Amino acid sequence: MPRLLLVSNRLPVTVKAEKDHVSVVRSPGGLATGLSRPHERSGGVWIGWPGDVSRLSAAQRTQVESQLSALRCVPLYLSASEVSRFYEGYSNRVLWPLCHYLLDRIPRQDRDWEAYAKVNERFAELAASHYQPGDTIWVHDYQLMLVPGLLRKRLPEARIGYFHHIPFPSSEIFRTLPHREDLLRGLLGADLVGFHTPSYAHHFSSSLLRLLGLETDLDNVTYEGRTVRVGGFPMGIDAEAFEKVSQEPGVLEELRVLKERSAGQRLLVGIDRLDYTKGIPRRMLALQRVLERQPALRGRLRLIQVAVPSRTQVEDYAAYRDKVDELVGRINGMYGTVHNVPIHYLYRSFNEKQLAGLYRAADVMLVTPVRDGMNLVAKEFCACRPDEDGVLILSEFAGAASELRDALIVNPYDVEAMADAIEEALRMPVDTRRRRMRTLRAQVKSRDVHWWVGSFLDTLQGMPTPSIRKGSV
Ligand code: G6P
């Protein structure tokens, strides 16, 4: 395996400061989890932001740096203004809603483009300074769309891959963005541009054609004398590791306790970052509809909803939190009893073992985002069910729906249809559940994160070597 130079906005670990103790903890999101193993194996470095370190003393900073360096992580510190303009601003107030088809959430005036471009320059500069000939550079996600182009200028012969972890929208949506051409040209600095599904790759190619007049021929596009390949590479999870955790004695004990305390109840589970793309309100309304339609289920059906705090400084996230809080209160107020409530809502991070316990306890797992690049929670749920039971309800707008066809696929905008799916899942005979879960698990296990990394890197490394490329230009 060649040395990998990974570049992503967030490092796989984030600094956590508590009073006089400082440590690094695993970052949220699939990107951090998915790439940890290839990073360990390749012996390269990972460049990214370790989170807010502004309140650390000099001694604590040194402590953090030595912990990061032991993990071969190179920190790129963001100033307070960069956090607010590059991370919260352009990345999460403009690109995030745009790629999730939520144009109404984009501020009318975008003032953060310069900060985005500047921080992308900083990432490219730092990555180039760590580059050694023969390295493969792998840039990740929408926060760094200009980095491949900026690296290409500095390192014309380098092998560069880019992976987009969120949806790439239809060209009709993408073209609304004032800086659309710059972003497309930024991505074209890579040799290989990867997406979770063929349809995102197709949307990207349509944008290249409509906005830059570039034609894609059999997944290849010629740009500035180079061939750039575009393709779908559905990301997987470390299925074996999840399955192992789900069988640990501590997890099984937790499961036993949970089941005992929920005796006579059916459990629905939702696990998401608290993000407005995740479709949590409509999911709760679907539960409300089920309770309205079926009085017999009142007191016997419970949703455990984990909402992991995320991007809390961005107004839309705070407003979304209020909306979810209010809905939980309303539904619990309506259908709760002195003994129990229909929604058990937990606003905090959970570790892997706690999550595995919940996955195992779920009669029905609800993954109903209004739009989602892939959604690895759906895959984690299947990996954690060696008992081959449990039903997955999955949004048709999650990338995972193009692979996990044995889930109950729903339109997350259709509350009635989601209520129908919950009822169907609760009624589903055990042999049907097992048959479906077996197929889902086989899928998740065969296309795991190692398969994903391998297929992306094999394609990238199978492209003409830099010297051949140089000769042919
Ligand atoms: C998604 C994105 C990642 C991001 C993660 C967590 O999975 O694709 O790039 O790291 O969310 O979001 P955050 O803003 O906390 O990094």
pLDDT of residue 285: 98
pLDDT, mean over the chain: 95
pLDDT of residue 404: 98
Q: What percent of the chain has pLDDT over 90?
A: 88
CA of 285 to the centre of ligand 1 (A): 26
Helix (H) or strand (E) holding 163: strand 159-163
Residue 352 pLDDT > 50, yes or no? yes
Residue 242 pLDDT > 70, yes or no? yes
pLDDT of residue 92: 98
* 8 Å CB contact between 7 and 155: no
Average pLDDT over residues 28-52: 86
Q: What is the distance between the alpha carbons of residues 295 and 190, in angstroms, rounded to a whole number?
A: 57
Task: Ligand 1 pocket test: pick from 7, 8, 10 the residue with the most ligand atoms within 8 Å of its Cβ.
Answer: 10
Q: Which residue in 404, 407, 377, 353 sits closest to 270, CA to CA? A: 377
pLDDT digits 0-9 by tens, 101-111: 999 999 999 89
Q: Which residue in 306, 300, 272, 273 sits closest to 287, CA to CA? A: 300
The residue whose CA is least distant from atom 11 of ligand 1 is 29
Q: What percent of the chain has pLDDT over 70?
A: 97
CA of 261 to the centre of ligand 1 (A): 34
pLDDT digits 0-9 by tens, 154-205: 999 999 999 999 999 999 999 999 999 999 999 999 999 999 999 999 999 9
When comparing pLDDT for 388 and 39, which is higher?
388
**Is residue 164 flagged as an active site residue?**
no
**Is residue 21 flagged as an active site residue?**
no
pLDDT of residue 221: 98
Q: What is the distance between the alpha carbons of residues 267 and 259, in angstroms, rounded to a whole number?
A: 9
pLDDT of residue 472: 44
When comparing pLDDT for 63 and 243, which is higher?
243
pLDDT digits 0-9 by tens, 309-323: 999 999 999 999 999
Residue 442 pLDDT > 90, yes or no? yes
Average pLDDT over residues 333-343: 95
pLDDT digits 0-9 by tens, 21-30: 888 888 866 7
pLDDT of residue 473: 41
**Cα distances (angstroms) measured from residue 165 to each of 99, 340, 436, 445:** 10, 39, 27, 20
Tell me which of 164, 165, 196, 203 is the catalytic residue. 165
Ligand 1 pocket, Cβ-based, cut-off 6 angstroms: 10, 28-31, 141, 165-166, 310-311
Q: What is the distance between the alpha carbons of residues 317 and 278, in angstroms, rounded to a whole number?
A: 11
pLDDT digits 0-9 by tens, 398-435: 999 999 999 999 999 999 999 999 999 999 999 999 99
- Cα(first)–Cα(last) distance of the chain, in Å? 27
pLDDT digits 0-9 by tens, 278-298: 999 999 999 999 999 999 999
Average pLDDT over residues 219-228: 97
* 8 Å CB contact between 399 and 197: yes
Q: Locate the ligand 1 atom nearest the alpha carbon of residue 140 and give its number.
A: 9
Tell me which of 191, 272, 275, 372 is the catalytic residue. 372
Residue 47 pLDDT > 50, yes or no? yes
CA of 355 to the centre of ligand 1 (A): 18
pLDDT of residue 34: 77
Q: What is the pTM of this model?
A: 0.96
Residue 470 pLDDT > 70, yes or no? no
Q: What is the distance between the alpha carbons of residues 231 and 187, in angstroms, rounded to a whole number?
A: 13
b/e burial code for range 343-357 (CB count within 10 A of at least 16 → b): bbbeeebeebebbbb
Strands (E), 359-465: 364-367, 391-395, 408-410
pLDDT of residue 471: 47
pLDDT digits 0-9 by tens, 5-25: 999 999 999 998 877 788 888
Task: Ligand 1 pocket test: pick from 141, 278, 372 the residue with the most ligand atoms within 8 Å of its Cβ.
Answer: 141
pLDDT digits 0-9 by tens, 427-437: 999 999 999 99
* 8 Å CB contact between 390 and 384: no
Residue 467 pLDDT > 70, yes or no? no
Q: What is the distance between the alpha carbons of residues 227 and 230, in angstroms, rounded to a whole number?
A: 10
Residue 469 pLDDT > 60, yes or no? no
CA of 371 to the centre of ligand 1 (A): 14
